Chain A
């Protein structure tokens, strides 16, 4: 059996997590900044573990939609939190893979002995997204700021055309194809023949699963209310296959199968997890939920149109499994981020096609995923890692979980957790 490359390293374990409830952009958190939300998520975690005034070796987090003023988002959030100000922090960004990549970064440092405790996660606000000015106005502003004489400053603006004054709204568009995430996925959906019915069923399962987890109190120690919101607001526990079936397609034209019901909504929220070296966690009586076993990223050649934008998971997973001598059947739970229902379904189909194997749907997103919870881009990784780690711990030592999160730029971040 091939030896895991990390066998001689220390163990990095997930000990807990915390997130804000997730809400639709423009909703209850519309006035909150990324820094506000990340600080709240950190403070909730700090309170749960009684870490106020204590130093954590490193905090790593990021956001996808980021203001220039947030150049040190995570450090500023730490300084605004109850943590010891001696806690260093780093911003990291890998589109929707940010949260999981942050966990991998922290776990790697812990495994190498460069840190013993860490907080990892992410935040995103599509409500507080930076509004960009058009190129003509940007050039004029730049020129004016360099001008020495007042008259030159005024002259700089004479080149500005009325059209330049309109702000450029933020959009989730791939720079190299000009296609929105949804339109790219619509191509994938059509190419893989994913039906409307299959997508709606997956969406329904997501809502049902997440609702059941909430009702059972599963999130009582994983979520801290924020701005008077105590529960995920996108979640529709009462939705039905009929209701989902009535929604009009929003991507892929009139014959499209992707609707607001089987695509994730723009979401605001933050999520973080607490990691520690295993023996340190045990000495401090922290719950050792799951070990971070290994991780793999991959990217697809989507620009040429030969491959799909959001299916790089189907490239990363086989590599990850092979290195660890595992098959899909070895996992108790599998978490595939639901950017769109069809992304999950196409990833499953691609894994079958490339010979990796078949995912048992009963193991998939058992406590719901992004379709029901929402998807604040960089926060999704932290949500999934904390949820999966707790599920694995409840299942018992040795149970394994697989995570796959697709990201813009044709990337995917995958990881294996194992209860210890």
Chain B
């Protein structure tokens, strides 16, 4: 810790920073923890699916308060104030799937205004809408995009660790297809996911969409780069949720890897993922430890490296190593594991996860190679959605923003503090936030989430 950091994080220093406008960031609700307050459901005209989903999840809802003239009360100066909830709601779910006309957007405003200062800490505003491509008419398409703009702004205006996200509901989507997504968004698991938009459609496979606290019971999950940091957290999260873990890392990290494996009652595979036979060796290890009939439920390609240099100083070696580890290795491994008949391969309804990055979204000085690899992961995720359209396998990605790890702890304090604060939650994320998002995407009930890249960045200002 630098001297400056020691001073600024001391009790006196905290008072000073608070005066300077750098208040202590809110402590986020995390884990499989529902909101304390009630869930308000605004089922707007033409909607209804959100009510079905919440019913499916067994979540009881209350009517939202509406900011209309009749409901306002004057304050001491006689200015009309929006209605106030007697109990702070934990979440507001806005079902806007049926909105097609500009005047209808007013209905969203009416339900939002009372919650903007009325939500509990780490509250949630969750929008459901229909994607522009699936509505007819210019106005309807414009309205669909308006909802996107509303959500992003709400995310920035909310305080106290509250988040806003938008779920785009595809045609023929059933309530059961959306259950895992709403469960994730309502619980503490989505703590650091804010300002995001992703699609949910009809689920692949025949899972009934029921959610559970241990969805991976009896399922095998492989995590690369698991000896430390985010990878370890991913493994721990899957372990909590019932998975049998196979943790992979380079031979040089073998001792830390063995510790992770033993703590989680899993098994360790020392493997350089860039080896040409890496996929076959993963499958062979799974077959050896779990038997030839065993299949991988989820393959989490977490391993990644940085070799930062300004482009002016970047040689072909640093270029190639980053692209090979972060992107090409993943593709080679997938190709092998997608041969479902092979012992220890991916299950025919398996899950593949790639890790993108804010640098991939927005670019980052000194990281051309890294940005190339991480944007490549996003391209891969999107392409695999089409490639595997007829398969029950889903492919998704997460793009972490500023996450508090050993790696980011090495960034100088002031710079680190800036990175931390430049998002809607005014803080860095925790490795578990990335892990929770991955576990949600890998949930057997998440078969309707495919080809999506979700940013875990607290609505970082950088990138869209």
Contacts and interface: CB of A to CB of B under 8 A. Distances in A.
Given A43-B262, A47-B268, A82-B262, A225 B254 contact: yes
Contact of A44 (B253, B255, B272, B289): B255
A224 B260 CA distance: 13
A186 to B, nearest CB: 39
Given A48-B267, A52-B261, A285 B288 contact: yes
Contact of A287 (B266, B268, B288, B290): B288
A53 interface: yes
B261 A50 contact: yes
Interface in A59-104: 81-82
Contacts of B251: 217, 220, 223, 225, 230
A225 B252 contact: yes
A405 interface: no
B244 to A, nearest CB: 8
Nearest to B343: A285
A415 interface: no
Interface in A32-60: 40, 43-44, 46-50, 52-53
Given A221-B270, A230-B252, A47 B261 contact: yes
A47 B262 contact: yes
B262 A49 contact: no
Contact of A285 (B252, B275, B287): B287
Interface string B329-352: 000000000000000000000000
A230 B291 CA distance: 30
Interface string A6-36: 0000000000000000000000000000000
Contact of B258 (A47, A284, A287): A47
A331 interface: no
Nearest to B250: A230
A226 B255 contact: yes
Contacts of A221: 270
Contact of A224 (B255, B264, B292): B255
B289 A49 contact: yes
A224 B271 contact: no
Contacts of A52: 261-266
Contact of B254 (A46, A53, A224, A287): A224
A192 interface: no
Contacts of A105: none
Interface in B285-317: 287-292
Interface in A206-226: 217, 220-221, 223-226
Contacts of A225: 251-255
B259 interface: yes
A53 B263 CA distance: 9
A48 B292 CA distance: 17
Given A53-B265, A225-B251, A285-B287, A44 B275 contact: no
Interface string B276-292: 00000000000111111
Most buried by B among A46, A47, A221, A287: A47
B257 interface: yes
A157 to B, nearest CB: 45
A50 B267 contact: yes
Given A82-B262, A225-B252, A50 B289 contact: yes
Contacts of A226: 255
Contacts of A40: 255
Given A48-B268, A224-B270, A285 B292 contact: yes
Interface residues of B, number: 27
A225 B256 CA distance: 9
B267 A47 contact: yes
A302 interface: no
Given A224-B270, A285-B291, A287-B288, A230 B262 contact: no
Contacts of A48: 258, 267-270
Nearest to B265: A52
A49 B288 CA distance: 8
Most buried by B among A43, A53, A285: A285
Contact of B270 (A53, A220, A285): A220
A44 B268 CA distance: 8
Contact of B267 (A49, A81, A223): A49
B252 to A, nearest CB: 4
A159 B289 CA distance: 63
B445 to A, nearest CB: 27
A284 to B, nearest CB: 8
Interface string A246-286: 00000000000000000000000000000000000000111
Contact of A50 (B252, B257, B266): B266
A158 B265 CA distance: 58
Contacts of A286: 288
A298 B291 CA distance: 42
Contacts of A287: 288
Given A48-B268, A53-B265, A224 B289 contact: no
Nearest to B275: A217
A40 B262 CA distance: 11
A217 B275 CA distance: 10
Contacts of B262: 43, 46-47, 52, 81-82
Contacts of A217: 251, 272, 275
A223 B253 CA distance: 11
Nearest to B255: A225
Contacts of A49: 267, 289
Nearest to A16: B288
A81 B259 CA distance: 10
Interface string B226-258: 000000000000000000000000011111011
Contacts of A220: 251, 270-272
A48 B252 CA distance: 14
B307 to A, nearest CB: 20
Nearest to A45: B258
Contacts of A81: 262
A164 B261 CA distance: 50
A182 B262 CA distance: 42
B269 to A, nearest CB: 8
Interface in B161-201: none
A54 to B, nearest CB: 9
B76 to A, nearest CB: 65
B259 A43 contact: yes
Nearest to A227: B255
Most buried by B among A40, A49, A224, A286: A224
Contacts of B257: 47
A255 to B, nearest CB: 44
Contacts of B268: 44, 47-48
Contacts of A53: 265
Contacts of A230: 251-252, 254
Interface in A176-198: none
Contacts of B258: 43-44, 46-48, 224
Given A46-B258, A225-B252, A226-B255, 16 more contacts: A43-B258, A44-B268, A46-B262, A47-B259, A48-B267, A49-B267, A50-B267, A52-B264, A52-B265, A217-B251, A220-B272, A221-B270, A223-B254, A224-B254, A225-B255, A230-B252
24 contacts: A43-B259, A44-B254, A44-B268, A47-B258, A47-B261, A48-B258, A48-B267, A48-B270, A49-B289, A50-B267, A50-B289, A52-B263, A52-B266, A220-B251, A220-B270, A220-B271, A221-B270, A223-B251, A223-B254, A226-B255, A230-B252, A285-B287, A285-B289, A286-B288
Interface of A: 40, 43-44, 46-50, 52-53, 81-82, 217, 220-221, 223-227, 230, 284-287
7 shortest A-B CB distances, which residue pairs?
A50-B267, A82-B262, A47-B258, A47-B268, A47-B261, A224-B254, A230-B252
